[in-house]
A and B are shown apart, each in its own frame.
Chain A
């Protein structure tokens, strides 16, 4: 199951990083004046589910069937995205 989830998440790694970094930069320059790394850490909490929705729900909805055929449902896949990005964001915040 972990192998399947890692295959699913592989597609989201780079876009999520870009969105989280963009949130971090936006926070640093405009809105909250938070440090860049901390902003990026917080950005991961939002960027994960957002990127998941955009990439899988809007652009590649059919790819879900690959994972459905292997017994994973949407709730499990969304939960994996939320947990992974929560961990990543927390780690960044912790080490920042």
Chain B
């Protein structure tokens, strides 16, 4: 079955348990919006699934194959971290050449968001420009499951709309797990919403539950 299956994720820092027995699954076509208060362990969970952070226990299976390290995640799971991950010493064109398969490479180089910056280094771009290039890079990878950490953070509304459009377009054949505090943008594109609270994950059916779960204030602006 085509599915990202995550089970038995436990993570503690010292004596504090951050994640306790997390389980969920994601299929291509699904966009899971993952909410949680600051420090609830959203980014930690994504890093554990990706394989870049060890956990006390975890079970991650991608389309029937067990995955535990970043090497095993290659071409199966891609992860967009909270802060920019583009190497500052490389030009955008070189990064695309390294990151993409030949078909995706041509497509990405001709993209109107990328084309003007091909011969510039990432540290010469603004935060928003960098973020959209990062998202396009991650989306053009051959991985079927994408873990996206705060895609809208520090990005102007025009780019936010563009990012939502791009994610929707790619969600037909990829599965997404997105976490961001721009909850309206996430809810707009998500097919399933989950809340990480007190170390456990629960599915949210209505926005009221985010208020009850103490993620949203009672009086919304």
Contact = CB atoms under 8 A, between A and B. Distances in A.
B98 A70 contact: yes
A68 B47 CA distance: 11
Nearest to A3: B98
Interface of B: 50-52, 69-71, 73-75, 78-79, 81, 83-90, 94-95, 98-99, 138, 141, 143
A65 interface: yes
How many chain A residues sit at the interface, stated as a range, is 10 to 19
A65 B71 contact: no
A63 B98 contact: no
B98 A4 contact: yes
25 contacts: A4-B98, A7-B87, A7-B98, A11-B87, A60-B87, A60-B88, A62-B83, A63-B86, A63-B88, A65-B52, A66-B85, A66-B99, A68-B50, A68-B51, A68-B52, A68-B73, A69-B70, A69-B78, A69-B85, A70-B74, A70-B98, A71-B70, A71-B74, A71-B75, A73-B71
A62 to B, nearest CB: 5
A65 B79 CA distance: 8
Given A65-B85, A72-B70, 20 more contacts: A8-B87, A11-B87, A62-B81, A62-B83, A62-B84, A62-B85, A63-B87, A63-B88, A64-B52, A66-B86, A66-B87, A68-B50, A68-B51, A68-B70, A69-B141, A70-B99, A71-B73, A71-B74, A73-B69, A73-B70
Interface in A63-88: 63-66, 68-73, 76
A64 to B, nearest CB: 8
B139 to A, nearest CB: 12
Contacts of B95: 66
Interface centre among B71, B75, B143 (most CB of A within 10 A): B71
A64 B211 CA distance: 36
Contacts of B52: 64-65, 68
Nearest to A61: B83
Contact of A10 (B70, B89, B99, B141): B89
Contacts of A3: 98
Contacts of A65: 52, 79, 81, 85
A62 B84 CA distance: 7
Interface centre among A3, A64, A68, A76 (most CB of B within 10 A): A68
Contacts of A62: 81, 83-85
B203 to A, nearest CB: 28
Nearest to A68: B70
Interface string A2-36: 01100110110000000000000000000000000
